[in-house]
Amino acid sequence: MAIANPVDLEALFDQLATMDGKAEIIDGELVPMAATGPWPGYAGDMVFVSLHQYAKRTKTGVTVSDNKIFRVNLPRRKSFSPDAAYHVGTSRPMKHYDGAPVFAVEVRSSGGYGPSAERERANKRADYFAAGTLVVWDVDLLSRDVVKVYRADAPESPTIFRQGEVAHAEPAVPCWSMPVDDLLPEGWTHPLA
């Protein structure tokens, strides 16, 4: 499919900014994203809260919660909407953030499993890195490997953090970390227990 021309792309961004629900612009189309469940939503919210405290303390960057638009200019992809993020660029306050976040968090929902989903996740990480993101977290509440940290300089070699450990997002968010246990909602039990 051909990518939308610039006029069509502006119309897509206008439509994206007024949509009910989450979507991204991929291959010249609005691609709706499934709503998240309570546990994945909680994990994304906890990353946001921790990053927000860091941003207030350091007075650097902006913490971004779910369902926000990051406008990028890649051949296939024109936007991202991570579950949580940290951004040091500019924004158009009523429209979108300019460019990719330096740190993006993608929390797996119930539809985020299987070979097709894994390919989509890998492609999205590659797009993040091509757009300038330094670190992407893949948060999986149904795995012992709760947080897989992918970095632009080693995109195929994630660092893994499990329950009881402290995860970080170096070099994207210097001197910030959070306990993996803070991502786990009340009532969470290890899926393999």
Question: Is residue 28 one of the residues assigned to a domain?
Answer: no
We report the CATH number of the domain holding residue 82 as: 3.90.1570.10
Q: What is the pLDDT of residue 115?
A: 95
Q: Is the pLDDT of residue 7 over 70?
A: no
* Domain count of the fold of the chain: 1
Residue type, 58: T
Q: Which residue has the higher pLDDT, 93 or 125?
A: 125
Question: Is residue 94 one of the residues assigned to a domain?
Answer: yes
pTM of the entire predicted model = 0.91
Question: Is residue 10 one of the residues assigned to a domain?
Answer: no
Question: Is residue 25 one of the residues assigned to a domain?
Answer: no
Give 61-89 pLDDT, tens digit per residue.
999 999 999 999 999 999 999 999 999 98
Question: Is residue 27 one of the residues assigned to a domain?
Answer: no
**Which regions of the chain does DSSP assign to beta strands (E)?**
23-26, 29-32, 62-64, 70-71, 79-80, 84-87, 91-92, 96-98, 103-107, 135-139, 147-151, 154-161, 166-168, 177-179
Question: Is residue 4 one of the residues assigned to a domain?
Answer: no
**Range(s) of the domain holding residue 141:** 37-183
Question: Is residue 84 one of the residues assigned to a domain?
Answer: yes
Question: Is residue 66 one of the residues assigned to a domain?
Answer: yes
